[in-house]
Amino acid sequence: MSPALVDDLAFRALTAKIASERGFGAANYRDGCLRRRIAVRMRACGVSDYTAYSARLDTDAAEWEKLLDALTINVTKLFRDRDVYEAMAHDVVPAVWALAAPTLRVWSAGCSSGEEPYSLAALFHRHAVSLSQQDRLSRLQIIASDIDRGSLDRARAATYADAAFVDTPAELRQRYFSPGAPATVVDEARALVTFERRDLLNEAAPRGPLHLILCRNVVIYFDAASQQALFQRFHDALAPGGYLVLGKVETLLGAARTLFDATDHRRRIFRRPAA
């Protein structure tokens, strides 16, 4: 067997092990991305092949946690890509808020440590206040999910260091966070968000219909087939006319392009066509 084939088989065995022992469906992620992340951990452990690294995992519980941290890539910030949040504040939030639905369901899919759903909560809250409709905020549910339990614990704590605020408009920081640093999300915004663990590759969307899905900087790590299957699920979970917002370097692939209209292609804002 050639060394490349041996390496490939050992890589597949390792990803199968990660899936079976830790429920992280690594086989659906892009190979190059996974290999780079695993290589970082292998270097840190001083091992040079997948088989040796797999053996290391068998005897080192802490290494499992470090590996899962490396694979899930939790980088995020509040109001990440400010122009996207400006577009959402201007177009998406008012359109969703104006829907007659008794419950408005918004899903932040792959929410990491909570910056994204809290940013959304601030936008919806500010919009409701601008219309003197605070009493209607009780019909809004922002469901935020992630596969990574550590991130979800940080999200529930709702407290952020200065670095998380680099994209945050001053007036929103002042209104929706406690003074100083680290700063905690105020209760009015916090109360709009609930967190849950959910694996986007293997679990259904939250109970719908949903009116807005943000899934930003998550699908980029998935292989093309998994992305397409997920976009189909997003489509099916959204109410007709509901919005989908992706990360700025992500886009709809293949048949998924026919499922949505692009309302702002540059900012990756899409809409399920109205019925």
Ligand X SMILES: C[S@@+](CC[C@H](N)C(=O)[O-])C[C@H]1O[C@@H](n2cnc3c(N)ncnc32)[C@H](O)[C@@H]1O
Which residue among 38, 92, 147, 256 contacts ligand X (CB under 6 A)? 147
* Torsion over CA: 273, 198, 137, 174 (sign): negative
Q: Which residues pair with 210 in a beta bridge?
A: 238
Q: Determine if 15 is a binding residue for ligand X (CB under 6 A).
A: no
Amino acid at 196: E
Which residue among 41, 116, 165, 228 contacts ligand X (CB under 6 A)? 116
Q: How far is the CB of 146 from ligand X (least distance, A)?
A: 5
Which residue among 10, 27, 201, 262 contacts ligand X (CB under 6 A)? 201
Which residue among 15, 112, 119, 168 contacts ligand X (CB under 6 A)? 112
Phi, psi dihedral angles at 42 (to 5 degrees): -65, -40
Nearer to ligand X, 58 or 199 (CB): 199
Q: Determine if 192 is a binding residue for ligand X (CB under 6 A).
A: no
Cβ-based neighbours of 139, under 8 Å, separated by 6 or more = 101, 102, 103, 104
Helix (H) or strand (E) holding 24: none
Give the binding range for ligand X (CB under 6 A) out of 8-16, 162-170, 216-224, 228-236: 216-224
Nearer to ligand X, 16 or 131 (CB): 16
CA–CA dist 157, 31 (Å, integer): 33
Looking only at residues 56 through 75 of this chain, which bind ligand X when binding is defined by CB under 6 A?
Answer: 72-75
Nearer to ligand X, 147 or 213 (CB): 147
Instruction: Tell me 77's DSSP state.
Output: -
Which residue among 218, 239, 244, 259 contacts ligand X (CB under 6 A)? 218
Helix (H) or strand (E) holding 27: none
Nearer to ligand X, 112 or 227 (CB): 112
Phi, psi dihedral angles at 143 (to 5 degrees): -100, 125
CA–CA dist 141, 150 (Å, integer): 23
Q: Determine if 114 is a binding residue for ligand X (CB under 6 A).
A: no
Q: How far is the CB of 162 from ligand X (least distance, A)?
A: 17
Which residue among 247, 259, 271, 272 contacts ligand X (CB under 6 A)? 247
Which residue among 199, 207, 255, 258 contacts ligand X (CB under 6 A)? 199
- Cis previous bond, 182, omega within 30: yes
Nearer to ligand X, 216 or 267 (CB): 216
The size of the interface with ligand X (CB under 6 A), counted in residues, is 21
Instruction: Quote the tokens at residue 2.
Output: 């050639």
CA–CA dist 80, 68 (Å, integer): 23
* Local structure of 179: helix, strand or coil: coil
Instruction: Tell me 180's DSSP state.
Output: S
Q: Determine if 216 is a binding residue for ligand X (CB under 6 A).
A: yes
Instruction: Quote the tokens at residue 52.
Output: 């040796």
Give the binding range for ligand X (CB under 6 A) out of 30-38, 141-149, 176-184, 253-261: 141-149
Amino acid at 45: C
Binding site for ligand X (CB under 6 A): 72-76, 80, 110-112, 116, 146-148, 151, 199-201, 216-218, 247
